[in-house]
Amino acid sequence: MTHATASPQAATEKRVPFRVQAHHIECCNCSHGCNCQFSGMTDYGPCQFMIGFEVIEGKYGGVSLNGVRFIVGAKYPGPIHEGSGDVVLFVDEKAGPEQVDAVTSIVTGQAGGMPWEAIAGTVGSFEGPVRKPIEMTVNSNRSGFRIPGVLEMRQTPIKDAVSGDEKEIHIVYPKGGFLWNDGSICTTSAMRIQHGKVAFEHPGRYASYAVANWTNQ
């Protein structure tokens, strides 16, 4: 396990070009919908979240990232933009060394590009990449991920309180969002992590599935 410094200032002058499209499987401790999407402020004070990613298609310089899985877990004392977050990055043990280095460079903001370069400035402590076996299911708002003995998250559709029918709910940014453009909103039947500073459990709160696109070009 190595430790990386999450700082956009750490980026070299000549950055390695990258483009990534990934399944974005997200959950946090906010209520359904996540107030951060609207006012920028959290529902309950702290911001505690996990996001799992599986690369659909991606390249970092000459390194293919297709199929690589990784998870970001974080615990902030308040909204993300107020900073001081404790963040951990897990990368699937099946990923090759060059793929691990590429993912770490992107997520720590060192490679530049949004949203990671902006998020890097909010990080107080960073641990990773932590190599672990990552189990992941990609199935719209029934997606999920798991690292045995460390964390688990399972998404499930929100149900109508009267009829019990499953609801299809989207948050859409027509001009482009910070993390994604079209999020399928759901909830979780499981959401927990226990790893050093990043430890929490919040089932039945906000979750979303989306396809994210990142580049530093």
6: closest CA among 132, 130, 119, 131?
Answer: 119
Entry pTM: 0.92
Q: What is the mean pLDDT of residues 44-73?
A: 97
Q: Is 10 inside any structural domain?
A: no
Q: What is the pLDDT of residue 70?
A: 98
CATH number at residue 155: 2.40.400
Q: Is 6 inside any structural domain?
A: no
For residue 144, the enclosing domain spans 17-215
Q: What is the mean pLDDT of residues 109-126?
A: 96
Q: What is the pLDDT of residue 8?
A: 43
Q: What is the pLDDT of residue 13?
A: 57
Q: Is 11 inside any structural domain?
A: no
Q: What is the mean pLDDT of residues 36-53?
A: 93
**What span, in angstroms and rounded, lies between the C-alpha atoms of 206 and 35?**
10
Q: What is the mean pLDDT of residues 98-118?
A: 97
Residue 153 CB: number of other CB atoms within 10 A? 27
Q: What is the pLDDT of residue 14?
A: 78
Report residue 33's pLDDT band, with 50, 70 and 90 as the boundaries.
confident
Q: What is the pLDDT of residue 139?
A: 97
Q: Is 3 inside any structural domain?
A: no
Indicate the number of domains in the chain.
Answer: 1
Q: Is 9 inside any structural domain?
A: no
